[in-house]
Amino acid sequence: MCGRMANTLPPDAMARLFDAAPDNDLPPAPRFNICPTQSVAVVTAEATGRRYRAMRWGFLPTWYKSPTDGPLLINARAETIAEKPAFRAACRERRCLVPVSGFYEWSKDADGNRLPWYVRPADGAPLVLAGIWQDWAAGNEALTTFAIVTCAAGAGLSHIHHREPVSLAPEDWGKWLGEAGKGAALLMRSAPEGRLAAHRVDRRVNSNRVEGPELIEPI
């Protein structure tokens, strides 16, 4: 799964990397402890070209009467995404790229204590996660929200957790966005062995109130 992220990527550099027009309300960077319900910069494909824009992390189905009307949907399972009523339309029509520096995952020790790990690309490049998004509105409140697609963990991460976010290579960005024909479903798989690296980090990141570059440092 994916429940926390870090993003040290400058917004202007990311806009250039994805050849996307940046919005004016992008969240600041760097951020070392991005939590669900916070704003995250993502890339979408629009009729006029790619757009780099802010969305709330936590997908809201159209039938929710408020942001807290049901479970917080931060992840969407690749195995059932095309069938779940909450996700199936977004899976077909509204896919996005979520560029980050890395994400956190937790394992457990023999006593059941949660041990945090930081996972990032082994080559130091931006990590681009597969996402789906949804406009939501009720009364006077309107939000654009997203979830990260997850799959069974591959050999590189299965010792930490049984799930991992779907990550996309540069040659797959256009296909996931729907710009390069069909076949996005084939991209919903674990990262090739060697693409991702992981190291243990301090338990301070277990709190969603802490922030700072020391959170991603190895221990």
Averaged pLDDT for residues 144-148: 98
- The 10s digit of each residue's pLDDT in 59-71 is 999 999 999 999 9
Sequence spans of domains, the chain:
4-216
pLDDT the model gives residue 132? 98
Question: Domain 4-216 - what CATH class?
Answer: alpha beta
Neighbours of 186 (CB within 10 A): 9
**77: its two tokens:** 């399972």
Tell me which residue of 171, 166, 169 sits closest to 189, measured CA to CA. Answer: 166
**166: its two tokens:** 């779907």
Q: Which residue blocks in the chain are alpha helix, DSSP H?
A: 11-17, 88-93, 173-177
pLDDT the model gives residue 181? 83
Question: What percentage of the chain carries pLDDT values higher than 70?
Answer: 100
